[in-house]
């Protein structure tokens, strides 16, 4: 009988390890550096990184501002029901939003002492999971080298936000009015529930894991993070992004910041494989003295 118990136990653990751990292991094994991606990110953080209402996305390539018109912007495009369209203005017009939100925090951010120390450490040790192709929730999702594409599907009551570079994955914002599920399993993007308040899309996010940095600068967070976003397309070319961070695990109070993203007419989501073309081991391990690759869990 005990033999059967051992066999069943081993089989279950092995199966779980294969299904849940092996994919991330295999994925990370393929990553050999990301100089191309990281270099673009630095460019794409914009002139006003960390400043309220900063204008991001002046990086080169597809994330740049080369397509931005000098003429006054057209008005905010709208759906037939009157809500602003925060993605492509029409099915025929393609485009993406340039990067924003390099640093959420500033001198007034109410860090807990450990969070401030960790933030300061990260400023000098860029050991960020995003550089190893891990998804990054919160504002960090908008700091990918080629911007982000927002796809609205009113019929399905969902909005998708696609990272074009970086992990090349997506977040779903549920617009069906249902609350967050109970007992969420923490994840990189958490659970996003959106609704309209006038011309602003308000998105309530919770259920994050601690496997990512909340912004490019390294603001820490815990699984207690409750993250409220407000997207307002103030005109055709501008998406105002306001965020309120509520994380009693890492901060002594609630705090906010805001940024702007610029519309890049023309580009849309294209194939991007994070594992390829990864030439920056320094960015993978920062200036840490060593990295142990004997573990099946990739750091």
Partner 1 sequence: MRLKAAFLVCLLAGLAITISAVAQEGHPLTGVWYGDYGTTAAQRSHLTIEMAWDGKAVTGIINPGPDSIPIKVATLDTSKWAFHLEADGKDEKGQAAHFVADGKLENVGSYNRTITGTWNYGTTKANFKLRRD
Q: Which residues would be at the binding site for partner 1 (CB under 8 A)?
A: 1, 4-5, 8-9, 12-13, 16-17, 20-21, 113-114, 116-118, 121-122, 125, 127, 129, 185-186, 209-213, 220-224, 248-250, 285-286, 288-292, 295, 297-299
Nearer to partner 1, 108 or 289 (CB): 289
> Shortest Cβ distance from residue 18 to partner 1 (Å)?
10
Spatial contact of 43 and 58, defined as CB atoms under 8 Å apart: yes
* Pairing relationship of beta strands 54-55 and 255-265 according to DSSP bridges: parallel
Distance CA 286, CA 205 (A): 30
> Shortest Cβ distance from residue 288 to partner 1 (Å)?
5
Nearest Cα to 68, choosing from 266, 268, 263, 269?
A: 263
> Shortest Cβ distance from residue 258 to partner 1 (Å)?
24
| Contacts for 162 with CB less than 8 Å, ≥ 6 apart | 148, 149, 150, 151, 168, 169, 170, 269
> Shortest Cβ distance from residue 153 to partner 1 (Å)?
29
Distance CA 179, CA 254 (A): 21
| CA angle, 137 then 141 then 143, to 5° | 140
Residue 90: count other Cβ atoms within 10 Å of its Cβ.
Answer: 8
> Shortest Cβ distance from residue 253 to partner 1 (Å)?
13
Q: Exposure pattern of 141-169 as b/e (b: 16+ CB <10 Å)?
A: bbbbbbbbbbebeeeeebbbbbbbbbbbb
Nearer to partner 1, 117 or 273 (CB): 117
Nearer to partner 1, 261 or 284 (CB): 284
Nearer to partner 1, 16 or 156 (CB): 16
Nearer to partner 1, 125 or 234 (CB): 125
> Shortest Cβ distance from residue 246 to partner 1 (Å)?
12
Nearer to partner 1, 210 or 268 (CB): 210
């Amino acid at each position: 009988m005990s033999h059967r118990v051992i066999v069943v136990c081993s089989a279950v653990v092995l199966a779980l390890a294969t299904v849940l751990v092996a994919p991330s292991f295999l994925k990370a094994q393929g990553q050999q550096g990301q100089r191309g991606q990281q270099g673009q990110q630095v460019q794409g953080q914009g002139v006003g990184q960390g400043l309220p209402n900063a204008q991001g996305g002046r990086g080169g390539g597809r994330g740049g501002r080369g397509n931005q018109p000098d003429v006054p912007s057209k008005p905010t495009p709208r759906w037939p029901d009157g809500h602003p369209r925060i993605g492509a203005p029409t099915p025929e017009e393609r485009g993406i939003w340039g990067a924003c939100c390099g640093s959420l925090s500033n001198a007034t951010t109410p860090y807990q002492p450990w969070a401030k120390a960790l933030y300061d450490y990260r400023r000098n040790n860029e050991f960020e999971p995003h550089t190893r192709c891990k998804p990054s929730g919160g504002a960090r999702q908008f700091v990918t080298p080629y911007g982000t594409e927002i796809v609205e599907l009113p019929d399905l009551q969902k909005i998708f936000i696609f990272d074009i570079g970086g992990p090349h994955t997506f977040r779903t914002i549920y617009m069906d009015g249902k609350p967050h599920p109970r007992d969420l399993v923490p994840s990189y993007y958490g659970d996003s529930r959106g609704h309209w308040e006038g011309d602003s899309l308000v998105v309530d996010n919770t259920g994050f894991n601690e496997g990512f940095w909340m912004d490019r600068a390294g603001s820490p967070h815990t699984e207690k993070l409750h993250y409220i976003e407000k997207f307002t397309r103030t005109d055709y070319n501008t998406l105002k992004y306001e965020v309120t961070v509520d994380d009693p695990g890492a901060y002594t109070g609630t705090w906010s910041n805001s940024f702007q993203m610029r519309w890049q007419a023309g580009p849309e989501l294209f194939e991007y494989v994070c594992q390829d073309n990864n030439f920056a081991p320094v960015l993978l391990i920062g200036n840490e003295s060593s990295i142990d690759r004997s573990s099946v869990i990739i750091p």
